[in-house]
Structure 1
């Protein structure tokens, strides 16, 4: 009976895994097909003929910029946003979790309300502000807000910090540590799993972000990978599906690498943040 349950469990999980991975497998196989054959032979995974031209054509990029330029632009944006989210969210979360100030509960509630607001509500006011600041056609409108904290990451880190015993803070203060030293020497090293989770999600969301770059970036030499992939599609001429699928596979590689290397931190950071000490 136990053996039967084991087989049933693994067959069920394997079936779901195949179901979830099939779109990625189809994308990979389609990247080796001629563009004209991708949807004609959509029911067949095996490319016939098997070609590599899509990768060469896709890497040539658009508007005189190779796809390497778009990857570089995206990496620069990811680094700035990631650093901003880590620094600001950790500091704000420490304030909410450890410091006592008037209206702390109210402001924490306001922060959570901003998490629930649809992005469309603040899109136009933000665009007007950044336009008046002269930040259009730069990464500033996307990167700078990260240095003022992200509600989801703040909430995640607050929950994690609350699992750390306050006795550690009190012992550090008795030894002569200031509030900032308590944060830097005690809290920061102990919230590494939550910080890793913050960094991973920040990387994913920024790497895949399309709306922000479309709103604020106008020059092709500043485009991100999401914008470049979108440029392979055309409403007026024939869309280059083969090149787009090939470059989609290229852009998925960093995502898979980051996930498989740091998946343990994702689980630890989210599961532990759900506890309250």
Structure 2
């Protein structure tokens, strides 16, 4: 008991110290959003602003290039919602096909799908750009969202593992009752894999919200810029970078991510932990 009493405070001190180290950059960014732009890095070692610049949020919301920051947030939300819906639904359908259907070349196609997980995304940037250019998709969100409707390998694997935990007897009972393949997927499998779908949706939200490379490659009009591109424009829109407003809008851009995490952290843990089981 004495050892437990000694270890308990030491454990909390270590965990608390690590939490402070991990959260300090976010705290520094929040405090920097209340500093004058010229003082952000001059007083970098000073956490609290002096003086407090409360106008950074108003200046940042005014945006750049004649567009308010609300336009960038709206554009990001459209991309995130459409891409997430496409990624989750298409991945669940492909995972159902691999998990419940045996077809010619099943192992080969599954192996090819898994190999794409190990393929660096940078390798396919140039071929994809050439294809989208010939299709006339540049300066639109189509190169960013349409590929998501053909399945995401990581999500397919995640949902596949989850489907394998569902007893095959349910499929047999539904088939006897007259369910076809698609109805089996829609009525039986889809409701049962909601935890895995929620996990995939959250990850897709994070990836699309913070994506900078895709919008930089394919979006040319400022009216179509996303949050990440809007933040970048604070650095090169003028000869002097607007650090204060940029940090202020960075704090605002973190709000949806933090909100999603705190609301759905249970689904993230449950989806990943349960997907690792095979029954």
Do Structure 1 and Structure 2 share a fold, with TM-score over 0.5?
yes
Residue 112 of structure 1 corresponds to 114
Residue 81 of structure 2 corresponds to 79
CA shift, 1:234, in A, is 2.5
Coordinate RMSD, CA, aligned: 1.0
Residue 142 of structure 2 corresponds to 140
Residue 22 of structure 2 corresponds to 20
Residue 221 of structure 2 corresponds to 219
TM-score normalised over the length of structure 1:
0.98
CA shift, 1:86, in A, is 1.2
Distance 1:108 1:250 in 2: 41
Deviates more, 1:21-30 or 1:178-187: 178-187
Residue 6 of structure 1 corresponds to 8
Alignment of 1:1-277 (within 5 A): 1-234=3-236, 237-277=239-279
Distance 2:170 2:54 in 1: 58
User: Please, which runs of 5 or more residues in structure 1 have no aligned partner?
Assistant: none
Distance 1:176 1:11 in 2: 60
CA shift, 1:23, in A, is 0.3
CA shift, 1:5, in A, is 1.7
Q: Secondary structure at the match of 1:111?
A: helix
Deviates more, 1:148-157 or 1:7-16: 7-16
CA shift, 1:174, in A, is 1.3
CA offsets 1:214-266 (integer angstroms, 9 cap, x no match): 00000000000000101111297111111110000000000000000000000
Distance 1:111 1:194 in 2: 19
Deviates more, 1:187-196 or 1:175-184: 175-184
Q: Secondary structure at the match of 1:233?
A: helix
CA offsets 1:18-75 (integer angstroms, 9 cap, x no match): 1100000000000000011111111111110011111111111111100000000000
TM-score normalised over the length of structure 2:
0.97
Q: Secondary structure at the match of 2:15?
A: helix
Distance 1:17 1:170 in 2: 49
Contact 2:30 2:251 in 1 (8 A): yes
Distance 1:13 1:23 in 2: 17
